[in-house]
């Protein structure tokens, strides 16, 4: 009988290197939200990949960066704490660019981790577009490899799926023999309400101005299925830090909020497999990113 392997894999890297896109591709479902704005992921999200011989629980962490507020401190704490709780680590870098100080900072932390590290060189689909072309490819990979000691350096494209089968095979070989932690059909251990809130926040990230995205938090207030038809009512509140931000999120004659609601509703319907009536409200919670009490109320708990 073939042994069954299972374990936990941390996915770390600078903001905006494609960690969430990578995880969504690996598990085959949209679990982590994606945006071109850095620091999109705020919480540690468990993404579960099950195959006949193994179950891999990936921990998608917030991008490690220099924090500018208490929310940033929470995000960095969450990412670094994960390194001590896993069987393997993916260090995801943007292979279309040379290493930066952020990569060096993370690499230094990874050298203290006990778990083996795979350097995942993402965004190789952009090599063709780079001014240097493919001739620069090996030099860039070598520069990243010099940052630390790694099991291997594996070029991948999370966007196009290139190299991901090899990546999964590699990490499964590093995992210990173990049990199946989750049912076969699970792709995340987060409740649906968490995913719904994240899908709404993703639409805000994509549609609003620079000053808005990271000043927003979303709370699902209530979810209720109607008895007489295939329809689920979802009530959600979008929190911002200032009245001016509230006006931007709502938009002229409510246009922005309607667009956020329309696009988020479509994503939530795909998640739930049912028609959804999504009702959104926008409220001001002054400087919530700097207040420990507000962070806790919104689901971000900083360790003392």
CB 200 within 8 A of CB 236: yes
How far apart CA 225 and CA 86 sit, in angstroms, is 38
CB 87 within 8 A of CB 8: yes
Residues of the chain with CATH 3.30.300.20: 192-297
Q: Give the N- to C-terminal CA distance of the chain in Å, as an integer.
A: 47
How far apart CA 262 and CA 200 sit, in angstroms, is 10
The residue ranges of DSSP E strands in the chain, in sequence order, are 5-12, 45-51, 54-60, 88-94, 117-122, 152-155, 217-225, 231-240, 275-284
User: Was domain 192-297 assigned CATH 3.30.300.20?
Assistant: yes
Q: State residue 185's pLDDT score.
A: 78
CB 239 within 8 A of CB 298: yes
User: Was domain 5-174 assigned CATH 3.40.50.300?
Assistant: yes
Can you read off the two tokens belonging to residue 165? 């089968």
pTM of the model: 0.62
CB 265 within 8 A of CB 233: no
By C-alpha distance, which of 257, 211, 161, 156 is closest to 37? 211
Q: State residue 45's pLDDT score.
A: 66
How far apart CA 12 and CA 19 sit, in angstroms, is 7
State the number of CA atoms in the 13 A half-sphere of 287 facing the CB. Answer: 6
DSSP 17-51: SSHHHHHHHHHTS--S---SSSS---S-EEEEEEE
How far apart CA 101 and CA 64 sit, in angstroms, is 11
Place of tokens 């360790």: 303
* 3-class SS letters over 244-287: HHHHHHHCHHHHHHHHHHHHHHHHHHHHHCCEEEEEEEEEECCC
Mean pLDDT by 10 residues, the chain (304 residues): 85 85 83 46 68 90 54 58 82 93 88 90 81 68 94 94 95 93 77 79 79 73 83 89 88 92 87 84 79 55 45
How far apart CA 248 and CA 234 sit, in angstroms, is 22
How far apart CA 73 and CA 86 sit, in angstroms, is 21
Alpha helices per DSSP H over 83-128: 101-110
Q: State residue 195's pLDDT score.
A: 78
Residue 238 pairs with which residues in a beta bridge? 218, 282
Q: State residue 33's pLDDT score.
A: 47
Residues of the chain with CATH 3.40.50.300: 5-174
How far apart CA 281 and CA 196 sit, in angstroms, is 15
């Amino acid at each position: 009988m073939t042994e069954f392997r299972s374990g936990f894999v941390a996915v770390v890297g600078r903001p905006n290197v494609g960690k969430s896109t990578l995880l969504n591709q690996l598990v085959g479902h949209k679990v982590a939200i994606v945006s071109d704005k850095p620091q999109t992921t705020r919480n540690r999200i468990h993404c579960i990949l099950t195959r006949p011989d193994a179950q891999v629980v990936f921990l998608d962490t917030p991008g490690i960066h220099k924090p500018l507020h208490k929310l940033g401190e929470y995000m960095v704490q969450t990412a670094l704490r994960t390194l001590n709780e896993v069987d393997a680590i993916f260090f995801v870098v943007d292979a279309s660019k040379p290493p930066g100080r952020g990569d060096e900072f993370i690499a230094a932390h990874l050298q203290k981790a006990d778990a083996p590290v795979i350097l995942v060189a993402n965004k190789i689909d952009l090599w063709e577009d780079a001014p240097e072309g493919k001739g620069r490819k090996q030099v860039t990979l070598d520069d990243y490899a010099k940052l630390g000691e790694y099991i291997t350096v594996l070029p991948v494209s999370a966007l196009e799926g290139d190299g991901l089968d090899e990546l999964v095979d590699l990490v499964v070989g590093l995992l210990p023999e173990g049990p199946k932690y989750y049912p076969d059909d699970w792709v995340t251990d987060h409740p649906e309400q968490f995913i719904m809130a994240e899908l709404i926040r993703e639409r805000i990230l994509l549609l609003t101005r620079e000053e808005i995205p990271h000043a927003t938090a979303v709370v699902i207030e209530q979810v209720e299925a109607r008895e007489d038809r295939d329809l689920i009512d979802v009530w959600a509140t979008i929190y911002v830090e200032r009245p001016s931000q509230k006006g931007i999120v709502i938009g002229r004659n409510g246009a922005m909020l309607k667009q956020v609601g329309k696009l988020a509703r479509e994503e939530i319907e795909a998640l739930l497999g049912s028609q959804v009536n999504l009702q959104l409200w926008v409220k001001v919670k002054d400087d919530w990113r700097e207040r420990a009490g507000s962070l806790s109320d919104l689901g971000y708990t900083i360790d003392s």
